[in-house]
Amino acid sequence: MEKKDLSIDREKLKKEGFPEPVPITEELIKSLTREQYEVVYNLKALAEEEKKLCDEINDRRPTPSGIIMEGGALTICEDEDDWKVITLELRAKLERVRQRIKENLEKALDCGLAHLGLIQRQCANYGVKP
């Protein structure tokens, strides 16, 4: 069976926009170059890290009692301002992860992965333009 090259040049992408999206299948994953595979893998790992950080931030939301347990210690968190201060470091980490996601989406477009529906959706979510 002949492999079909669905990748698209970045210049053509800028002119014509995204092509019809293609779902990720096992067969497609096997057809990726090493560079393309690494980009997809990195995006998966970064998405998992982003979710973990979001969960940690949300776990520290203000409670009705104003007290949250944090690593065995009690922390006062009565309102949104307290929550923002308590989660400041996590928010900074989250911003760095999101920046790395954007960088990897740019790499995905540069190495011909613009045809993947997942890449197209994530580019829209993170403001990465073709």
Model pLDDT for residues 28-65, shown as the tens digit of each residue = 999 999 999 999 999 999 999 999 999 999 988 877 77
AA identity, residue 57:
I
Residue 33: alpha-carbon gap to chain centroid: 21
Pairwise CA distance, residues 54 & 19, whole Å? 31
Instruction: Report how far apart, in Å, the C-alpha atoms of 2 and of each of 24, 29, 32 are.
Output: 18, 15, 14
> For 59-118, how does the pLDDT look when each residue is reduced to its tens digit (9 = 90+)?
888 777 777 767 767 777 778 888 899 899 999 999 999 999 999 999 999 999 999 999
